[in-house]
Amino acid sequence: MAPLFPALTPASTRTAVRFDDHTMTYGELSAAATALAHRIGAAQRVAIWATSSPETVVAVVAALLAGVPAVPLNPKSGEKELGHILNDSTPTCVLAASSAELPPALAGVPRTDVVTRPGAVPATPVTEPADDNTAALIVYTSGTTGPPKGVVLPRRALTATLDGLADVWQWTADDTVAHGLPLFHVHGLVLGVLGPLRRGGTVRHLGRFSTDGVTRALSSGATMLFGVPTMYHRIAEELPGDPSLAKALSAARLLVSGSAALPVHDHERITAATGRTVIERYGMSETLMNTSVRIDGTPTTGTVGHPLPGVELRLVDDTDTELADDGTDSVGEIQVRGPNLFTEYLGRPDATAVAFTADGWFRTGDMAVRDPDGSIRIVGRRATDLIKSGGYKIGAGEIENALLEHPAVQEAAVTGEPDDDLGERIVAWVVPADRRSPPSAKDLTDHVARRLAPHKRPRVVRFVTVMPRNDMGKIMKRALHE
């Protein structure tokens, strides 16, 4: 099997990673990762204290070189969640920067310090696994429906996703990716770090996300920006008063949003101010990336494009029967099949079996429609975003977009709740743009009815001061009902 990172050679002086003023060349990263790989080569699994730091990059690359499955840990996790992940994954040791203070939950796990400037480097290179089904990463789910599950991602899933994105984004060694995403998650770690390293390009991590950081990174040579909708929303809000931000974004080759749908209103504001279109892609922990808008295609706002090379995708009804691709705008569950899929939930054969159909399709739980051009438009999660009201299947996403087009709405989320007459009634949760003078519920429901259809208007409007979000910026809708 070819190496994961062909550019990772001891003599290379090309910049691989930059965090603030800390820069590592490919030669320096090779030395640090090789030295650490020799130290952990006999481990069954390693946990990584995944702070946004060069030490995390060294640790992950070392584990991949050594063929040791790595378990990225969210430094913001509570003791209970950390305890569950450690008991479930049983790592041989935890890799962390020498300066990192670890919580009590990790006290029983041997620690291996990670350094970015090693002393003596073993002369013997490490031999990467030859089997592309070898486990590479074990990423834990958010645990919204039970204890977090360990998603076992093989090496083939990493290469299939990163090489597929290289095709649709025309991603090369000349690109520098800027982002401020956390490194314990697929978006920030696999796409934002391993992606540039596989291409032989550069990772520029912003630390904490800020629009000033975006401006500096793009103005000094970064060509691609990765973010989530909350980040792009802040960008859209600040663009009118920040010409330097608009100029920097205009110079970028590619702007990518993921992890949740980017509201149409934010798409339009960014394009109007910069002339650039934000590209959306669709993936999840179990599948890595499934689809993306092509950089050389014609993007349609609100879609996540077409399947990546090698990925099969179908929309099915409640009986797993594939919906006809006849342009009828039918809502179905997305199921996928291909080399990008995980192999199992660690130690959970029952959950793994339920996640797949008999013929090997993974049930994503995401609901979507297919546009006339074949692109996929996600309408939400089956469990929280598909509302069955008055005999209709309604996606929460399109109602949220309609609400966000109202000038008095800053943020919006839509859920369903039981209704004796309708089955479920549509509930809108709204953060008003002006807390002192919120719009009337009737104004908002009439607005949605005019934009979409009368049966899609919210029956209840609830005003909130803030939306509950996870670390990736996704709104946690179950928390709205608590």
Domain range list for the chain: 15-179, 386-480
Judged against a pLDDT cut of 90, whether residue 456 lies above it is answered with: no
- In percent, how much of the chain has pLDDT > 90? 65
Determine contact, residues 117/36, Cβ cutoff 8 Å.
Answer: no
CA distance 347 to 353: 12
For position 397, what pLDDT does the model report? 78
CA distance 332 to 432: 32
| Residue range 53-65, pLDDT digits in tens | 999 999 999 999 9
For position 378, what pLDDT does the model report? 87
DSSP secondary structure string, 286-354? TTEEEEE--TTS---TT---EEPTT-EEEEE-TTSPBPP-SSS---EEEEEESTTS--EETT-HHHHHH
Judged against a pLDDT cut of 90, whether residue 73 lies above it is answered with: yes
- Residue 280's alpha-carbon distances to 78, 305, 365, 431, in angstroms, are 31, 7, 19, 25
Judged against a pLDDT cut of 70, whether residue 145 lies above it is answered with: no
CA distance 279 to 299: 7
Q: What are phi and psi of 147, to 5 degrees?
A: -60, 145
We find that the CATH architecture of domain 15-179 is 3-Layer(aba) Sandwich (3.40)
We find that the CATH architecture of domain 386-480 is 2-Layer Sandwich (3.30)
Q: Are strands 288-292 and 306-307 parallel, antiparallel or unpaired?
A: antiparallel
For position 254, what pLDDT does the model report? 96
For position 474, what pLDDT does the model report? 75
pTM: 0.85
For position 146, what pLDDT does the model report? 65
- Residue 166 CB neighbour total at 10 angstroms: 16
For position 328, what pLDDT does the model report? 55
Band the pLDDT of 420: cuts 50, 70, 90: confident
Judged against a pLDDT cut of 70, whether residue 276 lies above it is answered with: yes
Band the pLDDT of 327: cuts 50, 70, 90: low
Which of 32, 66, 62, 67 minimizes the C-alpha distance to 48? Answer: 62
